[in-house]
Chain A
Amino acid sequence: MAHLAKLGGLTDELLTSLTSKSSKTEAAKSNAQKESALRAFRYNNYARTNQFDVASQLEGLEEKFRVYNEDPLADALKERVDKVMKLQSKWTPEILHLLLELSDRPLQNSKLED
Chain B
Amino acid sequence: MTAGVDLGAPQTQAIRSDDDVVRVRQLVRTVAVATKLSLVDQTKLVTAASELARNTLIHGGGGTADVAGVDDGRRRGVRIVFTDSGPGIPDLDLALTDGYTTGGGLGLGLSGARRLVDDFDIVTAVDEGTRITVTKWSR
Do these two chains interact?
Answer: no
Q: B residues within 8 Å of A by Cβ?
A: none
Q: A residues within 8 Å of B by Cβ?
A: none
